[in-house]
Structure 1
Amino acid sequence: MDSVLILENFIDGSFEGCEFHIDSYCPATGQINARIPDSGKMEMNQAVKAAKRAFPFWSSLSFGARGDYLLKVADLLEARLEEFAKAESRDQGKPTWLTRNMDIPRAVLNLRHFAHAIPHHLNTSSVKPELGVVNYTTREPVGVAGLISPWNLPLYLLTFKLGPALITGNTVVAKPSEMTSVTAWMLCKLFQEVGLPDGVVNMVFGNGPNAGEALVVHPDVPIISFTGSTATGKHIALATAPLFKKMSLEMGGKNAAVVFSDCDLESCVSTMLRSSFINQGQVCLCTSKIFVHRFVFEDFIEKFVNAARSLKIGDPREEDVFMGALNSKPHMEKVKRYIGYAKEDGGNILCGEGVDMLNVPEHNKGGYFVRPTVITGLSDDSRCMQEEIFGPVTCITSFDTEEEVISRVNNSEYGLCASVWTSNLGLAHRMAHSLKVGTVWTNCWLVRDLDMPFGGVKKSGIGREGTQDSYEFYTDAKTICTKISN
């Protein structure tokens, strides 16, 4: 058994112990991986005080000076990619090849991208000679930013918030998920190593009701960026409404794919396999329901199920393992419960949980594994077609017409993303304009450009993230009008 890590909060440039701790488990084995500070109001107050004290100096630095710190951290992170990749895999449950090729490189990119891109955004001006005035705008950092990041892409999404918050001059108090805090704690060592001024970044570990609640309602934290479940996002919105904080909420999804009969079926199946089951289906953008035109429905089902059955599930350290473990035992139980709901609602389990044997190495028997599961025969209003499962479960149904499928896809409380598969460019554009979601991919999935807005509609979120959108979110616009002539 590997040694258990004892994590500490990072407050005002120093690592601080905590009296109480939370056990964090290795999903692939079910054994304790780390003990996380069970922080609360006291620790959060200390962190916010430190961030508030650091704000005047940090916000007075130039973009270039702030960017240099981010670039130095990115360089150190890249140099230690393998160390971080292994730690992220062990802590989260996903395969190491995935953290090595996606999670940690993307964290490096996040820091570099925002350090380079945001300083080049221009303010606006307007000269009114008839009035003898010139107007111009500035964008100023908001203050102490509260960042709450989730367990599915721990360092990936934490740096997606840290990068723009810091480069724009805000100081930060971050609360990572208590289930995946290890790489955030490791990142703090890099901040310390590059000499980041004390108090600019503070990392307070703990659960939502204690640490998270103390952060979002703190009167000296005027801006909150949250990624997580819709239920938690709703609670944060209600708790902070009387405080009039700036808010960005990236929440749940029930993402659909629409497969027309004229698409490249081989390419579609291959990509849909990845979009349904990568990271154990634990990506907010994963495809969880697929609408397939009746002409190719049977062919698609046969190819997709055969491909899903061929995916290897097991020890995340093995290079040929496609799916590791779900992040926690309660989450595994939730996913299995939804598969049970599918049976109750008349669905057919074509492969996966309860149908195919799960064979994992002996040392992984206590892990939280679920095979990729494909379900057909469900009505659009069934629980598995409407509610977020956030696991390796995909429901497939048929459709006949364009108008029909648009209505059925839009019949959802969520609106994060969708993908459309067709060789007809006109049809693709009509679909993209008709679907009520934040992002539509055509004949591809998860092709991300950090300069493009990211976010959802309806219960999938409020606000957008990306170069321009993050710049605007983490700053306040000010108009200055100066008399220059009589």
Structure 2
Amino acid sequence: MTIAQPRHLLDGSHRRMFIGGAWVEAASGQIMETRNPATGVVIATVPRAGKKDIERAVAAARNAFDGPWSRFKPHERQKLLLKIADLFERHWEEICVSDTTDMGLPIARARGNANRVLGMLRYYAGMATALHGQTVENSLSGDIVSYTRKEPVGVVGAIIPWNAPTAASVWKIGPALATGCTVVLKPSEEAPLTPLLIAELMAEAGVPDGVVNIVTGTGAEAGAPLAEHMGVDKIVFTGSTATGQSIVRASAGNLKRVSLELGGKSPVIVCADADLERAVPVAAMSVFANSGQICIAGSRLFVARSIHDEFVARLAAYAGALRIGNGIDPETEIGPLISPRQLQRVEGYLRAGSEEGARLVAGGTRLSDGALAAGNFVAPTVFAGVSDTMRIAREEIFGPVISALPFDTLDEVVRRANDTPYGLAAGVFTRDLATAHQLSRRLQAGSVWVNTYHAIDPAMPFGGYKMSGYGREGGAEHLDEYLNTKGVFIRID
């Protein structure tokens, strides 16, 4: 397949941010660089926004919400979302190259995300005309007609991470457009380019000025002012638990609505009766996909003791055979980590695993030979002999690192799997239907996958338990996060 060169990548050119339908610079005039994590090369510069820029973007979003956007009917919002989906499909290769170049996602994996992202946009389009209240029989008086209305919450501040720029942008903007909200989106400073490309496509589709605004900047200088802003009615955030806690504190000023999709340390349980031919590659890629930079990574691998050694040996062989390199190569299966800082973080966990007594059975090193020398590459890593108290088994690494832990009984593995502050996802491999249902019920996680992983459906809710956040993305619950419910009472006698 021929790779289309994006309009704004690979040449170090400057990109502006999108506010009120216009391409603008930061009020301060400051800029920041974004680099290809596979090569270290500067691929673009973008504005380094601050508080003044956030104020300008929120004002634009408020004007749009109170202005022409408020007059769009549900079928008009639906038509607009369908047009956006068609534009995404037409420019999908460009979007894929943008993600690959900006944050390292292998191009083959980026291309494979088409059904998910286009499906989300078209799902939201379908839901735009399905939002409604209900009539309620008044329990006190037959002379009063009661009904509820679903109304858009208002201006939404969206803060997204760098590990999935396209999907994360659509997961925030799509439901906002479906419900009639407006958005100020702050992408990660590590990967801001795809959201700017998305802004171009939104404008081309005819999204009114100010409905979607993209502000580039750091978390401290742009993200924090957005979370604090009194003119923002809702904050939706995907990222670390620590930052999510800061956002909750910042939101207290006007008690704005908050949805959080935060960190995870997800368990994957491989029972003795599992189909190993299926379980090994799926369990491996539950972590190694996107170089482990996924919140739902199944990095705690619990394996029934009777098959533990065989499973770990197969897993190590699978890890060693994966092709690592620049994501722009269609043959690449594992790309780079996002930045030198993330590389150092992951290397710290590799050292910690060995120092605390875990046994390294695959990977465990930075890769710096030949073309990999300038990038942030770590070999897919498997540790065995891991205990539940080790750092690699307790803390979110956000790198391609699996900790294998044996177990003996289902009661034991449920207790150990749930012994974590997180509760984002879990995986189970078994041929027994009763075991599948029992574990799905008992595991404390927002999503449980049986004999599969990463199966995210636009029609299904996604989100966390415990310190993995609250609120849901996907499904009818997602749209409710962007709506207020109003009760109306009319006396008719």
TM category (shorter chain) comes to over 0.9
1:118 CA drift (Å): 3.7
Query: Identity over aligned residues, as a percent?
Result: 39
Q: Shift in Å at residue 360 of structure 1?
A: 5.3
Match among 87, 94, 98 for residue 83 of structure 1? 94
Shift of 1:366: 0.5
2:169 is aligned to 158
Structure 1 match to 2:3? none
**Displacement of 1:115:** 1.1
Q: Which amino acid aligns with 2:234?
A: I
Q: Which amino acid aligns with 1:477?
A: T
Counterpart code for 2:301: I
CA contact (8 A) 1:11 1:203 kept: yes
Q: CA shift at 1:452, angstroms?
A: 1.7
Please state if 1:120 is matched with 2:130.
yes
Aligned to 2:5: none
**Among residues 17, 33, 38, which one is paired with 1:23 in the alignment?**
33
1:177 aligns with 2:206: no
Q: How does 1:322-361 map to 2 (within 5 A)?
A: 322-354=333-365, 358=367, 361=370
Cα contact 2:153–2:484 (8 A) shared by 1: yes
Cα separation, 1, equivalents of 2:479 and 2:367: 46
Runs of 5+ unmatched residues, structure 1: none
Q: Please tell me whether residue 439 in structure 1 is matched to residue 450 in structure 2.
A: no
Query: Is it true that 1:482 corresponds to 2:490 in the alignment?
Result: yes
Give the distance between the partners of 2:102 and 2:415, measured in 1 at CA: 40
Counterparts of residues 71-470 of structure 1 (less than 5 Å) = 71-102=82-113, 104-128=114-138, 131-354=142-365, 358=367, 361-362=370-371, 364-470=372-478
The answer to whether the 8 Å contact 1:118/1:468 transfers is no
Q: In 2 relative to 1, CA 105–34 (structure 1 residues): closer, same or farther, beyond 3 Å? A: farther
Give the counterpart letter for 1:23 in structure 2: E
Find the aligned partners of 1:269 and 1:417 in 2 and give their Cα distance. 18
Retained in 1: the 8 A contact 2:228–2:253? no
Q: Does residue 36 in structure 1 map to residue 50 in structure 2? A: no
Alpha-carbon spacing, 1:155–1:2, altered in 2? closer, same or farther (3 Å): closer
Does the residue aligned with 1:136 lie in a helix, a strand or coil?
strand
RMSD across aligned positions (CA) = 1.5
Structure 2 gap segments, 5+ residues each? 1-8
Contact conserved, 2:116 with 2:457, CA < 8 A, in 1?
no
- Tell me if the contact between 1:260 and 1:422 (Cα under 8 Å) persists in the aligned partners: yes
CA–CA distance in structure 1, aligned partners of residues 370 and 485 of structure 2? 56
The Cα shift of 1:467 comes to 2.7
Cα separation, 2, equivalents of 1:124 and 1:223: 24
> Displacement, 1:241?
2.2
**Is the partner of 2:231 in helix, strand or coil?**
coil
Separation in 1 of the partners of 2:75 and 2:36?
A: 40
Secondary structure of 1:285's partner?
Answer: coil
Name the count of aligned residue pairs.
481
Alignment partners' CA distance in 2, 1:428 and 1:96 = 34
The amino acid of 2:46's aligned partner reads I
Partner SS, residue 209 of structure 2: coil
Deviations 1:77-103 (A, max 9, x none): 11111111111100011111111121x
Instruction: Write the letter of the residue equivalent to 1:384.
Output: I
What SS does the aligned partner of 1:45 have?
helix
- Give the letter aligned to residue 483 of structure 1: R
Q: Secondary structure at the match of 2:129?
A: helix
Cα distance in 2, alignment partners of residues 319 and 192 from structure 1: 30
Q: How far apart, in 2, do the equivalents of 1:109 and 1:17 lie?
A: 33
Shift in Å, 1:378: 2.0
Deviation at 1:17, TM superposition (A): 1.8
1:128 Cα offset (Å): 3.8
Aligned amino acid, residue 454 of structure 1: F
Determine if contact 1:314/1:359 at 8 Å carries over to the other structure: no
Tell me the CA shift for residue 242 of structure 1: 3.6
Deviations 1:269-305 (A, max 9, x none): 1211211201111111111010000111111011111
Cα distance per residue 1:189-208 (max 9 Å; x no partner): 11222222111111110000
More off after superposition, 121-130 vs 180-189:
121-130
Distance in 1 between the 2:128 and 2:446 partners? 22
Aligned-residue offset at 1:359: 6.5
Alignment TM-score, normalising by the size of structure 1: 0.96
Instruction: Answer with 154-163 or 54-63: which moved more.
Output: 54-63
Q: Secondary structure at the match of 1:350?
A: strand
For 2:51, give the aligned amino acid: K
CA contact (8 A) 2:20 2:213 kept: yes
Deviations 1:451-479 (A, max 9, x none): 22110011101111123112111010001
What is the TM-score of this pair, normalised by structure 2?
0.95
Distance 1:464 1:474 in 2: 11
Deviation at 1:361, TM superposition (A): 4.4
Distance 2:65 2:475 in 1: 22
Secondary structure at the counterpart of residue 482 of structure 1: strand
- Per-residue CA deviations over 1:171-195 (Å, capped at 9, x if unaligned) read 1111011111111111111122222
TM superposition shift of 1:408: 0.5
Please give the alpha-carbon distance, in whole angstroms, between the structure 2 residues aligned to 1:220 and 1:145: 9
Structure 1: how far apart are the matches of 2:182 and 2:243?
A: 24
Deviation of 1:105 (Å)? 4.4
